[in-house]
Amino acid sequence: MSNKIGPELILHLNGLFRAARLYDVANRVVQTNLRILIETLAHVDGGEVTLLVLGENMYLNDDRIKLERKHMPHLRKLSSELATHELGGLRIMSDAPAEEWETFLVQFVKTPEAEGADEESSEAEAVSFAHLLRIAGVERIVPIPARDVGAAIALHTDEGISAQDEDSAGAGSRDGSEGRGGARAGDVFEHAVAGAQTLFESTAQGGTRLLRQARRIVQPLVETIMGSEQSIYRMGALKEHDEYTYAHCVNVAILSIGIGDRLGISRKGIANLGMAALLHDIGKLSVPREVLQKSDRLTPDEWKAIQRHPLEGARLLSRQAGLTYGSVESIRAALLHHRTHDGAGYPSAPRPVRQPTAARIICVADCFDAMTGHRAYREKPLTGYEALHQMIGAEASRFDPAVLWALVQTVGLYPPGTLLETESGYVLLSREPNPNDIRRPTCVVLREPGGREPGGREAGGNIADTTWNPMPAGERVRAVLTAGDIEADVEALLSV
Ligand SMILES: [Fe+2]
Ligand SMILES: [Fe+2]
């Protein structure tokens, strides 16, 4: 029962939360989603379900639910929805009437006002949400605070919290296994994208707690990157995301954190920088979606609307409760990330403006990710190598040279996704930067000298059999190839 109903519950809860954020609870869309959820709950044995989410794991009553990979983005979305109120799960009586659900939803989609990132205020939020529900008469849908989830699992299951759970609940760390590290970094990345989506959606609904949400999303990215997990940069080279705006914000945060680390910024400073990077385009919420996605030439008014996003972002962030030094840095970065090192860019200024460090870093990271990403107005994204070439070449005056150099050190001379040919005749795909030598990334061998298929893969081996980690010191790059030069599914090779 549980293994089938688990994914259904995730989908229907996500659908219901999303609808309730967009429409009034009386709206037909919300009511349809609610009816589907109530019908699903009617199939639960025992009349009650306790749903817990911990990292990449889901528990229903006492069972750990086996989820397929395709379900993971939905689980992450649910996890980030619950995290809005510092929750890790829900206890639901299957006969909870529609009226109770409606009252629950009204409270759930309200973004909490409290600010602060310490554990005490996190706990306080979960408690106050539970209290609000109780006084509103909701008794059959009970929130479970995130901090109680680990204990609840330990209490109700034989396994308790395994080391793997703890790892997946936190950040990816190095375990010496390249493949596993990559999988973890992928999870951290996907989690951050789901979190960014929730953050943008709740802000669009008038939420005022985005600084705290942003800090929570950024922390695992900081730990992953400062733990020297290079595979996280591979995620930025994957451009398969539909929700490119959210993936863009996460990519800019990843690159900014990497650059900040290279520049020797303190850990606290890097956390603030990551938060500012994640929020740099929050002002785009004020730009009509049709304008952001327009592929034709923009009218002067549309261009003006786009150019207002730094100011709108700064305005939105300055309205947040409980401003700290970190949040002031986010405001300045939102305002100035489109100003350039040579004094150009927007918003226009009557006098030269000195960009703060965070804005200078975000400007470089933003440009690199924008050039390599799908945009409505561009037929084909540039490769990381092409973007880097342009940024350190023709457009170098726009950027702070120290930051530009830190970008090269972060993504390498041949960023993930670059196709290379060595002097000895190997054809390679760059997969991860090598922090010890920017010229020799970790690569997968696509062809051996003479055009032969690499031995490992021909014999049915996996990608690790034909991976150079890193490229050997004796090899030198002779040429950078373009996608048309060789048949290879670059996205597939980067995503494993
Ligand atoms: Fe921007
Ligand atoms: Fe941007």
Per-residue model confidence as pLDDT tens digits over 356-371: 999 999 999 999 999 9
| Contact indicator for 321, 297 with CB cutoff of 8 Å | no
CATH label, 188-411, candidates 3.40.50.970, 1.10.3210.10, 1.20.1250.20, 3.30.1520.10 = 1.10.3210.10
Q: Report CA(335)–ligand 2 centroid distance (Å).
A: 12
Q: What integer pLDDT is reported at residue 52 of this predicted model?
A: 86
Given pLDDT bands bounded at 50, 70 and 90, which one contains residue 158?
A: very low
Instruction: Write 240-244 long-range contacts (CB < 8 A, 24+).
Output: 240/491, 240/495, 241/193, 243/193, 243/197, 244/373, 244/374
281 C-alpha to ligand 1 centroid (Å): 5
At what angle are helices 210-226 and 244-262 packed, to 10 degrees?
50
The candidate with the shortest Cα–Cα distance to 381, out of 239, 172, 267, is 239
Q: Give the amino acid at 442.
A: T
Ligand 2 centre to CA of 277 (Å) is: 9
CA of 338 to the centre of ligand 1 (A): 6
pTM here?
0.71
Q: Which two three-digit tokens encode residue 37?
A: 């959820």
Please report which ligand is nearest the Cα atom of 369.
2
Compute φ and ψ for 48, nearest 5 degrees. -155, 140
CA distance 104 to 130: 10
| C-alpha 306 to ligand 1 mean position (Å) | 9
Q: Which two tokens stand for residue 160?
A: 């308790």
**Span from the CA of 443 to the centroid of ligand 2 (angstroms):** 29
> Which ligand does the CA of 368 lie closest to?
2
Measured CA to CA, the distance from residue 351 to residue 269 in angstroms comes to: 28
CB 271 within 8 A of CB 326: yes
The more confidently predicted of residues 487 and 315 is 315
Ligand 2 centre and the CA of 342: distance in Å? Answer: 19
Q: Which of 49-53, 194-198, 410-414, 461-465 has the lowest mean pLDDT?
A: 461-465
In this structure, the chain runs to a length of 496
What distances in angstroms separate CA 204 from CA 16, 43, 125, 140, 193, one per listed residue?
17, 35, 21, 29, 16
Burial of 118 (0-12, 13-18, 19+ CB in 10 A): exposed
State the ligand closest to the CA atom of 338: 1
CATH 1.10.3210.10 positions along the chain are 188-411
Contacts of 91 (CB under 8 A, 6+ apart): 48, 49, 50, 51, 141, 142, 144
Cα–Cα distance, 57 to 72 (Å, whole number): 9
Alpha carbon of 310 to ligand 2 centroid (Å): 10
Q: What angle do CA 283, 288, 290 make, to 5 degrees?
A: 135
Share of the chain above pLDDT 70, in %: 84
Say which ligand is closest to the CA of 370. Answer: 2
Burial of 360 (0-12, 13-18, 19+ CB in 10 A): buried
Question: Average pLDDT of the chain?
Answer: 82
Q: Over the stretch 14-68, which tens digit does the pLDDT of each residue have?
A: 999 999 988 899 999 999 999 999 998 888 777 888 888 877 788 888 778 888 8
Half-sphere exposure of 465 (CA within 13 A, CB side): 10
In the reported structure, the alpha carbon of residue 334 is separated from the centroid of ligand 1 by a whole-number distance in angstroms of 8
Q: Which ligand is nearest to the CA of 333?
A: 1
Residue 327 Cα, ligand 1 centroid: separation in angstroms? 17
Does residue 449 sit in helix, strand or coil? helix
Q: Measured between alpha carbons, how far is 74 from 59 in angstroms, rounded to an integer?
A: 15
Gap between the terminal Cα atoms of the chain = 31
Q: How far apart are CA 204 and CA 131, in angstroms?
A: 26
Distance (angstroms) between ligand 1 centre and the Cα of 146 equals 33
Angle of CA points 427, 184, 64, to nearest 5°: 135
Per-residue model confidence as pLDDT tens digits over 225-278 = 988 888 888 887 776 544 567 889 999 999 999 999 999 999 999 999 999 999
- Residue 280: pLDDT band (50, 70, 90) is very high
How far, in Å, is the centroid of ligand 2 from the Cα of 362? 8
- The number of C-alpha atoms within 13 Å of 178 and in the hemisphere containing its C-beta is 17
Helix (H) or strand (E) holding 277: helix 267-278
Q: Angle, to 10 degrees, between the axis of helix 244-262 and the axis of helix 357-372?
A: 130
- Can you list the alpha helix ranges (DSSP code H) found in 350-473? 357-372, 384-392, 401-411, 455-458
Neighbour tally for 361: CB within 10 Å: 32
Distance of CA 233 to the CA centre of its chain: 12
Mean pLDDT of 212-220: 86
487 or 348, higher pLDDT: 348
Give residue 206 CA to ligand 2 midpoint distance, Å: 21
Per-residue pLDDT tens over the stretch 3-12: 678 889 999 9
H or E element that contains 276:
helix 267-278
Q: If you measure from the C-alpha of residue 388 to the centroid of ligand 2, how many angstroms do you get, rounded to a whole number? A: 17
Joined tokens for residue 361: 């870093």
pLDDT given at position 388: 95
Q: Which residues pair with 419 in a beta bridge?
A: 429, 481
Measured from the alpha carbon of residue 312, the closest ligand is 1
